[in-house]
Amino acid sequence: MALLQDKVALVTGAATGIGEAVAELFCAEGAAVLALDRDGPGVEAVAARIRARGQQAQAAAADVRDRAALAQAVGSVIAEHGRLDILINNAGIYPRKAFLEMTEAEWDEMQDINLKSLMHTCQLALPHMIRQGSGKIVNISSVTFFLGFERLTHYVAAKGGVIGLTRVLAREFGPHNIHVNCITPGAIKVEAEKRFVSEEQQRAILGYQSLKRRLLPLDLARVCLFLSCPLSDGMTGQTLNVDGGWVMY
């Protein structure tokens, strides 16, 4: 039996990269997935490709800063399926900027997308999970929280907040049989990487890792699957580092 048979999942940032891989893997494991992204055509293409394989996927074009749009997306899931079992908070941005050159608007945009959006999605999803008496939430943070990276102050601060949020939600909603865990990805080989990582930096990444290959979105999707299925029923409030053996703690 598929690991997510008859489960219903919402995946944010699902038009490309990690979110796209999660949506595809979850559908292959029997879930019905609502793939959400502000790139409407991109996320619809992902959902259409999944449906062409005979699996269940729908697309929602929404910016994770727009609570009304998120509420509409969650409402559509409940209207169609009557439940929401899994929430994958993956949407995020990764602009680099020196701290003393950073504007307040740039700081706020980072916090709004990479951290505050999780408040919106969790507040919208949790009442349904409480009603069901079960739920799995997986938040995507970053290995940069453990390392500290220059020109990423706003990003690292937001991703550290994701870990803190995960721990508190796990405490608060554990009595409702709701599991809240976190993943800190390392350097994942995605299409967008070409815009900000040189070939020299890519080679350096392999030098840091214990595993001498680039990690792929599927590597992260598989850990999301583990944290979203019964195999992880004894875990909550945890942060799993998926970085090829770069940071060990």
Which residues are known to be catalytic? Answer: 155
C-alpha count within 13 angstroms, C-beta hemisphere, residue 3: 19
Residue 9, SS3?
strand
Task: Calculate the CA dihedral of residues 58, 61, 66, 68 and round it to 10 degrees.
Answer: -50
**Cβ 213 vs Cβ 244: under 8 Å:** yes
Closest by CA position to 220, among listed 4, 22, 35: 22
Alpha-helix residue ranges (DSSP H) falling in 4-152:
17-28, 40-52, 67-81, 104-111, 117-132, 144-147
Q: What CA–CA distance (Å, rounded) separates 229 from 5?
A: 10
Residue 126, amino acid: L
User: In this structure, what is the dihedral angle of CA atoms 67, 73, 74, 79, given to the nearest 10 degrees?
Assistant: 140
Q: Which amino acid is at 109?
A: E
How many CB atoms lie under 10 A from the CB of residue 199? 8
